Structure formats: C-alpha cells, structure tokens
Amino acid sequence: MSLEKLVPKLIRASLDEDYREVRSLSMRVIRRLKESHPKIAEEIADALSEHGIGASTKRAVGISDSPVDMETLQSLCKVEEPIDIDYPIFSPRVNELVKNFIREREESKKLFSVGLTPPTSLLLYGQPGVGKTELAKYLSGILNLNLITLDLASAISSYLGKTGQNLKKVLDYAKSSPSILLLDEFDAVAKRRDDMSDLGELKRIVNVLLKELEDWPPNTVVIAATNHPDLLDTAIWRRFDRAIEIGLPEQEERIRILTNQLEDKIFDKVSKSFVTLIAEMTKGLSGADLCKLVERTKRKAIIYDINVMDALIKELVDFKGCDSVEFNKKFCRLAKTHMKVSIRKLAEWLDKSPSAIQYYLKEKGEEVNG
Ligand SMILES: Nc1ncnc2c1ncn2[C@@H]1O[C@H](COP(=O)(O)OP(=O)(O)O)[C@@H](O)[C@H]1O
Ligand SMILES: [Mg+2]
C-alpha cells in the first residue's frame, strides 16, 4: 500500500483508539520511509516504543480507573508503579530521618500487633531542586507502593472552582488501595487560611485535607512536598506525622553528587581533587543544579571534543554568571592549593591573561559565597 493510502487509515485508527491497528500501520509507514527519510522513520519508531512502555504501565496499575474531572475528562493525578531509583544524596541527619520512616513503615505489622500504627504522613520541605520529589519516588520503590502524584499548583489553576471536589476524588482514590499519595507543590493549596487572597475555595480545600488526614488509612502514605514551609499554617503542620527538612547539599554531599554524575565510561576519570575544587565553587547550588551543570558539561565535552575538566570549568563560569573578581580569586586560590594548577592553565580556564591570574593569586580574596 502506498504512503498516501496508509496515512488516512492511520489517522482513522488513532481517532478510534485502535492501538493495534495504529501499531501495524505505523510499522508499514516506517518500512516505506526507512530508505528515503530515515530520521522520520526513527522518530515514529521512538514514539511507538515510548507509547508501549506507558501503555503497559497504565494497564498494570489500572490507571483507567483513576479519577478524572467530570467536565474536561482530564486525569486528575498521575499514577505510577513503584519506582526503582537510587537513593538521593542527603545529609546524615536527613538519611537518619528517612531511614527511621522506612523502618517504621516496614515494621507496620509489628506495630499493629500491639495496637500502634505506623506513620502515614510525611511533610518534605526545602528549596527547589533539593530532591523532595526524588525522595518520594524512591520511597514508592523501597516501600513497593504505587505513586499517585497530584501537582497541586496545576490542579488548582486548571480546576478552579472545583478543586475541593476534585481533591476529594483523588484522596478517595488514593485511600482505596495501598499507595503513596504525593501532594507536590503543597503550598499552592495550604496557604495560610487567613491569607487575604484566600477565596473561600482554598479554605474549603484545606479543611477537606485536614479532615482526611485525621483518619488516613495506614496502608497508604501521604507525602506533601513544599518549597515554602512558611506558607503552611500550624494546623497543617500538626496533622503530619513526620516532617523532614531537606537542605542544600553541603561540601561532602556536593562531592558525592558530582562524583556520581561525572562517572561515565565515555569520559576520562576526573581526579578527586578536581571534584573537591568544583564542590567548593558550587556552594549554594542544589542537587538539581549540580546535575544540570554536569549534564551540560558532558554535552559540551562531546560536541567540542574537549576534556571534561575544561568543559566543566567553562560551564561553571557560564552557569554562575561568574566574571566576578571574587569568584576568580577564590577559584585560583583553591585550584592552586588542591591541584597545583599552573598559571597558564588557570589563565586558559578563566579566559584571562597570566598577569590577571597572578593578581588574583596575590590578593587575599574575601570568601565568596557560592
Ligand atoms: N539530593 C540529591 N541527590 C541526587 N540528585 C538530586 C538531589 N536533589 C536533586 N537531584 C536531582 O535533581 C532532580 C530534581 O530534583 P527534585 O526531586 O525534583 O527536586 P525538588 O522536588 O526538591 O524540587 C532529580 O531528579 C535529581 O536528578
Ligand atoms: Mg519537586
């Protein structure tokens, strides 16, 4: 069959949601295009394989039964099977708190047997990009529970006027089977109830939530994540069994995050002292920032065929918008101490003249934050 005949059939099958037919017609389109338009053929193949993964997951967790908005028929939350990811890198204090929480959940039976209940709610707070959502995903994997995510920021704006009703649906759904319900961007709903901008609607929602949290079933965990803990009122704080503050990564954590991210067979191994230097220069960055920094570095190293260390310094200078004298001074001083880098190399890294580098090294720079 010619392409002209295949395409209308393909469109009809998509509109009918006849995925078997879509799949088989797409395979035929790929075969037609493979020689003349390999890029397009590849893209169609990608779409098929990605859709395959999503579809099977949806079937497995019964996402078809998940709640939808009655008018728009949009899904109100995202449902995923237990997510198997590495434990994020946190401070020892956070590790301890997370470990305790997991332990208490795992020992639920033991607790029940003596009339105690495991914790069912957890509040995670801290700046953006410190790994709150990542931790919730990790917990779904380790506790082997489906993860139901409700992004409150988008839910509130798109379901205006019906948020309370929709929220109730999601809560009921989460309670109906063992799972983790992640209320992400929680501050969007949990604004102080005496907030002037409060429209009554928010008040109702908070009340629904508080009421629900009061007798939340023990087989389900509610995790709320927020960047603005100060916006939550005390009634909400009180309702959570545990609260964990996740701070920005300290030097040790930055070293570990950078080391993990830089570990890649296609690149030369980066020395410990170099990672220590970069960790010192990235004070104030979040885990997400560090991951982004390394990702850009790898891209740069591949595209321009340069060494990872050179690429990383270039990205760091760009990323932090650092053409500041303080940054340069700190960088030169630390590079000299940790790595015994030559003036020539420092000049190349910072794109400065050797005499400028000598100036940076001579002057005692003030400690720069970040
Ligand atoms: N502590 C961490 N350890 C390892 N990776 C992290 C950490 N924090 C953030 N990341 C990386 O940044 C990404 C975004 O983090 P995320 O969990 O969405 O942050 P948050 O929810 O706190 O805003 C994660 O997917 C992960 O790749
Ligand atoms: Mg998040």
Residue partners of 6: CB distance under 8 A and separation at least 6: 25, 28, 29, 32
**Measured from the CA of 184, which atom of ligand 1 is nearest?**
21
Of the bound ligands, which one is closest to the alpha carbon of residue 187? 2
Domain check: are 309 and 329 in the same one? yes
Of the bound ligands, which one is closest to the alpha carbon of residue 286? 1
Of the bound ligands, which one is closest to the alpha carbon of residue 294? 1
Count: domains in the chain: 3
* pLDDT computed for residue 73 by the predictor: 72
Is the torsion defined by CA of 50, 55, 58, 64 positive or negative? positive
- At which of 195, 230, 245 does a domain end? 245
Q: Is the CB of 159 under 6 A from ligand 1?
A: no
Residue ID of nearest Cα to ligand 1 atom 20: 129
Give 129 Cα–ligand 2 centroid separation in angstroms. Answer: 7
Of the bound ligands, which one is closest to the alpha carbon of residue 288? 1
* pLDDT computed for residue 160 by the predictor: 58
* pLDDT computed for residue 253 by the predictor: 98
Domain check: are 258 and 317 in the same one? yes
Domain check: are 151 and 228 in the same one? yes
Instruction: Find the CATH number of the domain harbouring 144.
Output: 3.40.50.300
Whether the Cβ atoms of residue 279 and residue 258 lie closer than 8 Å to each other? yes
Indicate whether 70 belongs to any domain.
Answer: no
Indicate whether 317 belongs to any domain.
Answer: yes
Q: Is the CB of 181 under 6 A from ligand 1?
A: no
* pLDDT computed for residue 60 by the predictor: 45
Give 225 Cα–ligand 2 centroid separation in angstroms. Answer: 7
Domain check: are 235 and 303 in the same one? no
Report residue 26 as tokens.
């797409």
Render each residue's pLDDT in the chain as its tens digit; 370 residues: 888 999 999 999 889 887 778 878 888 888 888 889 988 888 887 777 655 433 444 444 444 477 877 777 777 888 999 999 999 999 999 999 999 999 999 998 888 878 788 999 999 999 999 999 999 999 999 999 999 998 877 776 665 567 777 788 888 899 888 899 999 988 876 555 555 555 566 677 778 888 888 878 888 999 999 998 888 888 888 889 999 999 999 999 999 999 999 998 888 888 999 999 999 999 999 999 999 999 999 999 999 999 999 999 999 988 766 568 888 899 999 998 888 889 999 999 988 999 999 999 986 655 444 4
* pLDDT computed for residue 55 by the predictor: 40
Domain check: are 218 and 98 in the same one? yes
Is the torsion defined by CA of 281, 283, 289, 294 positive or negative? positive
24-51: b (≥16 Cβ within 10 Å) or e: ebbeebbeebeeeeeeebeebeeeeeee
Q: Is the CB of 287 under 6 A from ligand 1?
A: yes
Give 175 Cα–ligand 2 centroid separation in angstroms. Answer: 22
Residue ID of nearest Cα to ligand 1 atom 13: 288
Which residues make up the environment of ion ligand 2, defined by Cβ < 5 Å? 132-133
In three-state secondary structure terms, 118 is coil
Give 328 Cα–ligand 2 centroid separation in angstroms. Answer: 33
- At which of 245, 279, 306 does a domain end? 245
Give 282 Cα–ligand 2 centroid separation in angstroms. Answer: 21
Residue ID of nearest Cα to ligand 1 atom 11: 288
- At which of 245, 263, 283 does a domain end? 245
In three-state secondary structure terms, 88 is coil
Domain check: are 240 and 261 in the same one? no
CA–CA separation, 344 and 335 (whole Å): 12
Domain check: are 230 and 98 in the same one? yes
* pLDDT computed for residue 52 by the predictor: 47
Mutate which of 90, 134, 139, 262 for ligand 1 pocket (most atoms within 8 A of beta carbon): 134
Indicate whether 69 belongs to any domain.
Answer: no
Domain check: are 139 and 210 in the same one? yes
Domain check: are 214 and 170 in the same one? yes
In which domain, by residue range, is 314 found? 251-362
CA–CA separation, 28 and 161 (whole Å): 47
Domain check: are 285 and 343 in the same one? yes
Domain check: are 210 and 280 in the same one? no
**Measured from the CA of 126, which atom of ligand 1 is nearest?**
22
Report residue 129 as tokens.
């990009």
Indicate whether 155 belongs to any domain.
Answer: yes
At 177, which amino acid appears?
S
Domain check: are 257 and 355 in the same one? yes
Is the torsion defined by CA of 159, 165, 171, 176 positive or negative? negative
Give 89 Cα–ligand 1 centroid separation in angstroms. Answer: 9
* pLDDT computed for residue 181 by the predictor: 95
